[in-house]
Amino acid sequence: MKPPSFSYHDPTGLGEALALLSQYGDESKVLAGGQSLVPLLNFRLAAPEHVIDINGLGELAYLRRTGGTLKIGALTRHASLERSDLAARHWPLLREAVRWVAHPQIRNRGTVGGSVAHADPAAEIPVALVALDARFTARSQRGTRTIGWRDFFSSALTTALEPDELLVEVEVPEVAPGSGYALAEYSRRHGDFALGGAAVLVTLDGSGACCGAAIALLGAAPTPVRAELAEKLLMGEKITEHVAAAAAHAAVDAVSPSGDIHGSSEYRTSLIEVLVRRAILTAAARAQGEDDGKA
């Protein structure tokens, strides 16, 4: 199908984009990579009167390390994140996550900001960012605010962004030394959205016991969620099969993924439990240097 008609705007600077958002607010949609918005327009699931194309805002395409923090401009393409030596070296969970996103053609156009603002509960980048305790900076003509992930993701496909706000930057804190990471997921066909998954960071102390853990679940709830009880179960423990299995069980105890034609709620729950267990074991092995993925 063809999209409904709309007025197209292509601002060349942030100030102009914010002025357009202020003027048109909830009658408008931001166009970044278009990999989610254009299908929504074509299926007429979205019918904005104004489309504000931010592809001319080159100032929002960057990956840089400031202090220990990674700053990702909202217009950074998935492919740039995938090829970033900086991310590979210091935030390898992000690189592992982005490699699961769709296909190379989509990663060449899709943006980090678009994935975050679209807030699909089965999207890999948001779930990795939740495991990494990321913060999101929004700009509007009213000012700038930074929002932690807990307040940012409100529900499926819904965030705390106001209609006149543009997501401009994602901030990812430093990962503790001695950490390992893993993103495990399952989809029926390569490149499809996953039926379930988990992003895990595990930090081990000198004795090999867990002194830090983050477990974020993909496709388990309307937003990416942290399995905090499971994280607590790992603390102070050496990560054995038994410990990982107990934590994975606790991780899914608190969630009830919705079922659909691709898989029932029970199937997804059991799938996510398996994937959490595998991700914990992989992350722990990487933290011990048993894999090339030590952070």
Q: Does 74 bind ligand FAD (CB under 6 A)?
A: yes
**Could you say which residues in the range 182-221 bind ligand FAD, by CB under 6 A?**
193
Q: Does 166 bind ligand FAD (CB under 6 A)?
A: yes
Which residue, 73 or 178, has its beta carbon nearer to ligand FAD? 73
What tokens does 271 get? 């799938």
Q: Which residue has the tokens 């807030």?
A: 119
Residue 155 pairs in a beta bridge with 158
What tokens does 7 get? 């007025």
- Which of 39, 7, 4 lies closest to 20, judged by CA? 7
The one among 11, 36, 178, 281 contacting ligand FAD by CB under 6 A: 36
Which residue, 161 or 230, has its beta carbon nearer to ligand FAD? 161
Q: Does 167 bind ligand FAD (CB under 6 A)?
A: yes
What's the rounded Cα separation, in Å, for the pair 28 and 47? 9
Secondary structure (3-state) at 74? coil
The one among 11, 18, 29, 244 contacting ligand FAD by CB under 6 A: 29
Spatial contact of 174 and 256, defined as CB atoms under 8 Å apart: no
Strand order from edge to edge, sheet including 28-31: 7-9, 50-53, 28-31
Q: Does 179 bind ligand FAD (CB under 6 A)?
A: no
CB of 109 to ligand FAD, least distance (A): 6
Tell me, by CB under 6 A, how many residues bind ligand FAD: 28
What beta strand segments (E) does 74-152 contain?
135-140, 143-148
Host H or E run for residue 174: none
Is residue 71 packed enough to be buried (19+ CB in 10 Å), middle (13-18) or exposed (0-12)? middle
Q: Does 268 bind ligand FAD (CB under 6 A)?
A: no
Spatial contact of 77 and 179, defined as CB atoms under 8 Å apart: no
Which residue, 130 or 166, has its beta carbon nearer to ligand FAD? 166
- Which range of residues in 121-129, 176-184, 200-208, 255-263 is near ligand FAD by CB under 6 A? 121-129
The one among 128, 161, 201, 284 contacting ligand FAD by CB under 6 A: 161
Q: Does 224 bind ligand FAD (CB under 6 A)?
A: no
Q: Does 37 bind ligand FAD (CB under 6 A)?
A: yes
Q: Which positions lie near ligand FAD, rule CB under 6 A?
A: 29-37, 39, 74, 101-102, 106, 110-111, 113-115, 117-118, 123-125, 161, 166-167, 193
